[in-house]
Structure 1
């Protein structure tokens, strides 16, 4: 995967990747693995900030019909559709104001 994703520098993961899997990714691919940690001494539901950003963005992108299923044959086509969906989302928000 390292050769296929040359721009990837950091991977955000949850606590399930603190063991040998996270270390293997770091050693083999050279990517930084950042484990999201919950805030201590807090009660109730509190979203983890970086994870919440990713979940919210995925939710926005899934409103696009073409991204709701994996129709693309190549990863490059899928990546292009994600870029187009993000451009459309930003343009819609810029022109709404």
Structure 2
């Protein structure tokens, strides 16, 4: 049986790969839909094809998950770690450029 965090990480990686695969197609279809110089039946066809794309391939479907634990909430963008892992890793000196504040 697979651990819950590993399933989340695998699903997140799957969504990111889908996004990279369909990104160019989505951009082209969106530009065709918004272009008023294109005939209406072509714009409608582009809208239809865009609606048939997998919803998980959208950028909005991706979550900022912690790389270590798979936690969604309170992740640090620079390191993609949750605040708990970020704190322990920076205190141990494993993250270059980060250190404890002392004044």
Structure with the bigger percentage of helix: 2
TM-score w.r.t. length of structure 2: 0.22
Larger RCO: Structure 1 or Structure 2 (Cα < 8 Å, ≥ 6 residues apart)? Answer: 2
- Say which one has the larger Rg: 2
